[in-house]
Structures are given as C-alpha cells and as structure tokens.
Amino acid sequence: MKVKDVMTANVVTVLPGASLKDAAQLMVLHRVSGLPVVDGSAGVLGVISEGDLLVKERGAPEGGRGLLAWLTGARENGGSKLAARVVGEAMTAPAATIGPERPVAAAAALMLEREVNRLPVVDRDGLLVGIVTRADLVRAFARTDAEVAREIRDEVLTRQMWLADDETVTVRVEAGEVTLRGCVTRRDDAEVLPKLTAHVPGVVAVSSELTWREDE
C-alpha cells in the first residue's frame, strides 16, 4: 500500500500571510489539527498546527516577568513563535513531506522520527497533492484480514517477489497474524518474503513455514 492510497487529496491549506485567527478558524471548521502552509503555486512552505497556536495562547511561561522571562519563553517555543502574528511566523518549517508513491510504512516511520501527526504529500516538483495523517495510517492498519491477505498476494508475492509459476505460497491471516506456507526456489526469497510481508499495513506478526529448493 502506498501513501497515495490513504492520503486525503482535497487538502485545506493556508497562506503564510493569513492571521493566526484565520488558521484557527479553518482548523475548527474543517475539524483538522494542522494545515499545510503553501505559496501561490501550491509549494509547501511549512505546517501550522494546534501546537503552534497553543504557544501563542499560553503566552510567556509563568514564574517570571519582564524582558528576561519573555526571551526565555520565546527561546523555548522556537524563537519567534511567541511573538508571531501571522501564519508564516508561527508555522513549523521546513515541513517534513513525503511522495505519493512511497510505502505507507515509510510515512509511519517518518512521522515517528519527526514526532509529527501529519505529512504533506508532494509531487516531484514539491507541489502539494495531498496530506496523510496518523489517523489515515491507523485506518489502513484496521483493515480486514481478507484485505490484508489480498494485498500480500497482489503486491508482495506478485509485484515485488515475481514468484515463478512453480513456486507456490499460501497466505493465511487471522487477527492480523500472517502465516506463510509453501516452497520457493531460493533461500534468499524465503528470508525476504516475511520481511516484506511485515511492512503491509494491518500485519501484526508474520510466521514463516517456507521451504526452498536451492541454497545460494
């Protein structure tokens, strides 16, 4: 499964010159927790999120007053975020982005690495074509066993592994736990196949009972 299969293509965006109030109202209206910030050509400049707005709403940290306290608070919250008035001053930039052809597993890894809840999806020219969120990835993980098994057969066995006609592998999925049985030609294939299967969204665990005809 690829990012383009789970992303939202109709993305709510905001311009860098918009006010923070405008951004907040868009989030509330569309029930989203963050917005890609784009230029006039749909190039992604950054992301404005609820967290960025909370910095402004909280104000300077308690326990101090005056210039020193203000400077400390500004430093803790990304420099100019506390003093921001428009989206371009409060947004997180540069944004972590991903391509539509990347696997869902890559999106999950990037979200965890960057500690973000969403990734703008951009084409080769860096233009926005969608957005993928943690909720999108959870929905992919929640697919039925039949859907998971079908993707393993279609994507992993057929498109990625290119198994020969005399190689037979059966796939059984129960509550997300996959069992692979059968015989392949090479030992390498028997070792790689469970690893590829583990990256299919919705797979909880993989048990391999594969055998092979040739050692390399």
* 9/100 same-domain check: yes
Residue that is last in its domain, among 141, 156, 177: 141
Share of the chain above pLDDT 70, in %: 86
- The phi, psi pair for 167, rounded to 5°, reads -105, 120
* 176/120 same-domain check: no
pLDDT, residue 62, reads 57
The two beta strands, 168-174 and 44-49, are: unpaired
Condensed to tens digits (0 to 9), the pLDDT of residues 118-134 reads 999 999 999 999 999 99
Given a cut of 80, whether residue 51 has pLDDT beyond it is yes
Residue 153's pLDDT band, with cuts at 50, 70 and 90, is very high
Q: Are 148 and 198 in contact (CB under 8 A)?
A: no
Condensed to tens digits (0 to 9), the pLDDT of residues 59-103 reads 655 555 554 444 444 444 455 677 788 999 999 999 999 999 999
Condensed to tens digits (0 to 9), the pLDDT of residues 76-88 reads 445 567 778 899 9
Number of domains in the chain: 2
Give the amino acid at 76.
E
Rg (CA), the chain: 23
Residue that is last in its domain, among 87, 115, 141: 141
Residue that is last in its domain, among 118, 141, 164: 141
The two beta strands, 34-38 and 44-49, are: antiparallel
Contacts of residue 100, Cβ cutoff 8 Å, sequence gap at least 6: 2, 3, 4, 7, 121, 123, 129, 130
* 136/155 same-domain check: no
* 119/174 same-domain check: no
Given a cut of 80, whether residue 182 has pLDDT beyond it is yes
Domain housing 193: 145-214
